[in-house]
Structure 1
Amino acid sequence: MSCVVSVSLSGKHTFSKQGVDRIALLTGLGVEGDAHCGALVKHRYHLRKDPTRPNLCQVHLIHSELFEELASKGIVIAAGDMGENITTSGLDLLGLPTGAHLKIGNDAVVEVTGLRNPCVQMNDLRPGLMQAVIERVPGSKPRMKAGIMGIVVAGGVVRPSDTIHVELPPQPWRPMACV
């Protein structure tokens, strides 16, 4: 069963987020009280490029299985360290298509918009982290494993242990790209 392991937020533009007992997702905006909450782009890099762009990064999700993989490489990461709002378990986040809906808890629905683009700030958290979340397979494009991004299409409260149900979009599915 897919579920929420942890929820986190930060009211400031910090790399890591603090774990809390619940977060409120606001339709069309993101996580209430989080620095990235808003209809228009909030990430500093994207703000410099075009501040009028829609915010496709309202909610950041990471699968807890990534932490286990990183630990096997000597990189210890805890929930919220990589700036995610929702840490999941039992769900192949990276295998979802763009447009998939994640029903979380009783009411919240997040629409998948794409992959998180790993940045060099990750190495400030743990040396080598950025390269560890980019899987390179000869003959194919690098696979970004730093989580996924989404927008809130239905608001609600999300807590650890909430279940997550996936609703796939109509086919043909579009693979995720970095947003």
Structure 2
Amino acid sequence: MTTQRPRVVAVSRDDQHRFSKVPVDMIVLVEGLGVDGDAHSGTTVQHLSRVRRDPTTPNLRQVHLIHDELLDEARAAGHEIGPGSLGENILTAGIDLLGLPTDTRLHLGEAVLRVTGLRNPCRQINDLSPDLLKICVERADGVATDSDVDLGPTGGTVSRDGQPIRRKAGIMAVVERGGQVVPGDVITVELPDGHVPLEPV
């Protein structure tokens, strides 16, 4: 059995602040900003809820990556979703995004991303497809549950059954070196010296 190399499955962007993004043939990553032509590109935070809280906060969420395996899990549960549906810019396969440490560098062609943290799934996911949020969050202890997901005051996920959770809706990154990214690009992982687990950003 051969192990598939980590790769880019699809790329998406949207110049409006909508939940889902539009799959495209190519995206251009711009150093220090994010995806060219994307509403979340910028040196300071661009997600509207965070802009309302503090528009001067550095943008640690320039690029959103999700693993295709999550979409497979969601489709198996009856959710009709595809590339860009969950708002990601880059859909990957063959790489454990959630297990990467903070400050991991991902090389995609000539571009380099630095991983900053986890996406914290929010109630908008259920607007896309009822109960999809339950797929994007699981109990940290691995116990299966059909319970609702508890949300914090700003809408981010905090627990299931009152227990700690594992967030599965992808990771966020900043652009350290710009370049084009297309489906099929191989992803090379450069780990940092220490292992600091990812936290929501």
Band of TM-score, shorter chain: over 0.9
The more displaced of 117-126 and 128-137 is: 128-137
Which contiguous aligned blocks of 4+ residues in structure 1 show a shift greater than 2 angstroms?
A: 137-141
Identity across the alignment (%): 54
Structure 1 residue identity aligned to 2:193: P
* Residue 138 of structure 1: how far off its partner (Å): 4.2
Residue 47 in structure 1 maps to residue 69 in structure 2: no
Partner Cα distance (1:98, 1:150) in 2: 10
Match of 1:136 among 135, 139, 142: 139
Aligned to 2:20: 16
Residue 155 in structure 1 maps to residue 178 in structure 2: yes
Partner Cα distance (1:170, 1:55) in 2: 24
- TM-score, normalised to structure 2, is 0.86
Q: Where do 5+ consecutive residues of structure 2 fail to align?
A: 143-162
Q: Where do 5+ consecutive residues of structure 1 fail to align?
A: none
Residue 86 in structure 1 maps to residue 90 in structure 2: yes
Partner Cα distance (2:140, 2:14) in 1: 34
Partner Cα distance (1:89, 1:102) in 2: 13
Residue 32 in structure 1 maps to residue 36 in structure 2: yes
* Residue 137 of structure 1: how far off its partner (Å): 3.7
SS in 2 for 1:48: helix
* Residue 79 of structure 1: how far off its partner (Å): 0.6
* Residue 121 of structure 1: how far off its partner (Å): 0.7
State how many pairs are aligned. 177
Partner Cα distance (2:80, 2:167) in 1: 18
The superposition leaves residues 120-170 of structure 1 with CA deviations (integer Å, 9 ceiling, x where unpaired) of: 111110001112211114496200000000000000000000000000000
